[in-house]
Structure 1
């Protein structure tokens, strides 16, 4: 294999640029040509493809977002769209494709794989919801962004003796909420995988108030519900002054953490190695701090598992 392509797809995540850099540098080191595909699968169908050189990946490891840009494409989900994409890859002589993204991006890579086109998936999403890897690129940075925000909110919650509901991202996974809630000592954490019922949350707030607690922090994963609605329910049920903060897309931005830069570099390079070895239809990941790879189609059939021991611990420590 002498020519490979790389694209980023779906929601951006801090560390994607570090993964792009690793793919470009590893490919060139291995005497291969590498082509950047701009604007995800949509750009692939449109032929928005350019050869990348060493300098193309210079000074990007520390930058958030993705220099290849990203987009979602309904057209690519069709048979016609996928065939158009393969024609573009063949037109440029690209023999293998590395896809950096989340679940939807992996679904696209799986479709190309089923059609005989060699693809390798690199998990890049702040949601940390990809089976087959302990961590995805961007999760650690987003987690630290949330922790920093909650620390600041706790200062004002203490000053004004209020309850705060903080809605965090994560789609249908509760990893960001769970890890942030445990790290920030939240009184309640609500995640899709094991949601505290409303009466339990209210009871915990009232017990805290009875022992003289003046403020509380509740972390709500977006997959559970709307933070504003939940905050209104809390205030109605307890009479406590309640404020809601929806952190939103601030969680996706910013300079990637050291952990994410290293993880992205390792996974990007591993993906290139798999293509060199003639592997196809694989995803790379990290488990127990060891690089692994799995069949991408089989991995997508699995269900992401959250660490419920951490959830139980957070309840024990927030009494």
Structure 2
């Protein structure tokens, strides 16, 4: 532990509301414990190109309320090569950085794990992704804000759906995870959610429509997770037009709208707790772990588990949505 005099912090992959709160927490917790901080701009790319700046407590003032990430983010194909990682390691040594804290999703932690193994280097990850798809943590930074954005958008869409007796398919993010679609559907009072986790088990569209769908309603909204498995909202809508032509169908794709905005209180608190916990992990000589939260308690999850294991959907929520949509 005494060897860690300076840490580097970066954000990588897709941005998520609350990343700035995490950056603030990591920076201030490190300084509180007598550790110098260097901010690395544009993720792993900045590690290679040397976009590294000393951070003081004032560098993270007045950022907790902002979405996005002040450290910027970028994809970096070079870091996926051994040669690129060697350049990054040489840069870290040159800058006197003894450990890294990386904030991001599955791809970010995968890169961190490989780098940590190659160079026996201490890294702690913080789960920042609106998809909520990392194993070992009940929730990820950005998920709650994105869920609230979806809820607000669907509330507005319902006004139009009701006025025109229409069936709306609303596509939400999540890659191959249905957390946003399922919980977004419950929160907004939608009639159904089409998610990849159960798409291989049953025909969700047929089940929804043929089980008395819209029996007592003049408009309906279905949330669809973006995924090759579900076909996305456009794919589902095309199928309805062919198989159920009696419906007046419309599609809304929320897209990157879901990734922006000021983080909710929950995301700010979660990011603050996880950021401080990342420094605690380094002080305890832990490495190659992701901070997580389980039953409102901070936990440390090995990268191997967080990345390799699929996070299961809560199937009780599917039944809840089915019951409440009658």
Q: Deviations over 1:100-141 (max 9, x none)?
A: 000000001101211201100000000000001000000000
* Aligned twin of 1:186: 190
Q: 2:287 maps to what in 1? A: 280
Cα distance in 2 between the residues matched to 1:249 and 1:40: 20
Bigger shift: 56-65 or 301-310?
A: 301-310
Q: Residues of 1 paired with 2:209 and 2:213: CA distance? A: 10
Confirm or deny that 1:156 pairs with 2:160: yes
- What SS does structure 1 have at the residue aligned with 2:197? coil
- From 117, 128, 138, the equivalent of 2:121 is 117
Following superposition, the deviation at residue 199 of structure 1 comes to 1.8
Q: What residue is the counterpart of 1:261 in the other structure? A: 268
Hey, what's the Cα distance between the residues in 1 that align with 2:22 and 2:130?
A: 14
TM-score, with structure 2 as normaliser = 0.94
4+ runs deviating over 6 angstroms: none
- Give me the whole-angstrom Cα distance separating, in 1, the residues matched to 2:314 and 2:247: 31
Kept in 1, the 8 Å contact 2:12–2:104? The answer is yes
Query: Is contact 1:101–1:124 with CA below 8 Å preserved after alignment?
Result: yes
Match of 1:249 among 247, 251, 256: 256
CA distances 1:203-230 after superposition (whole Å, capped 9, x unpaired): 14xx244x44210111100022221221
**Are the aligned partners of 1:9 and 1:70 in contact in 2 as well (CA < 8 Å)?**
yes
Match of 1:226 among 216, 227, 232: 232
Distance 1:200 1:15, change over 3 A: same
CA offset at residue 28 of structure 1?
0.8
Contact 1:202–1:237 (Cα < 8 Å) also in 2: no
Whole-angstrom CA distance in 2 between matches of 1:114 and 1:235: 51
Equivalent residue, structure 2, for 1:50: 53
In structure 1, C-alpha distance between the alignment counterparts of 2:283 and 2:129, rounded to whole Å = 25
Cα deviation for residue 236 of structure 1 reads 3.1
Inter-partner Cα distance in structure 1 for 2:264 and 2:6: 31
SS in 1 for 2:110: helix
Whole-angstrom distance in 2 between the partners of 1:299 and 1:162: 41
The match for 1:101 is 104
Q: Hey, what's the Cα distance between the residues in 1 that align with 2:111 and 2:278?
A: 16
- Tell me the distance in 2 between the aligned counterparts of 1:254 and 1:73: 25
Displacement of 1:294: 1.6
Q: Which residue in 2 is equivalent to 1:8?
A: 11
Q: TM-score, normalised by structure 1?
A: 0.97
In 1, distance between residues paired with 2:56 and 2:127? Answer: 24
Q: 1:165·1:245 contact (CA, 8 Å) conserved in 2?
A: yes
Mapped contact 2:13–2:74 kept (Cα < 8 A): yes
Give the whole-Å Cα distance in 1 for the aligned partners of 2:62 and 2:93.
30
Distance 2:150 2:165 in 1: 21
List runs of 5+ in structure 1 lacking aligned partners.
Answer: none
> CA contact under 8 A between 2:292 and 2:299: conserved in structure 1?
yes
Point out the more displaced range, 64-73 or 235-244: 235-244
The SS at the match of 1:144 is: helix
**Aligned-pair Cα RMSD in Å:** 1.1
Give the Cα separation in 2 of the matches to 1:221 and 1:229: 11
Q: Quick one: distance in 2 between partners of 1:107 and 1:229?
A: 31
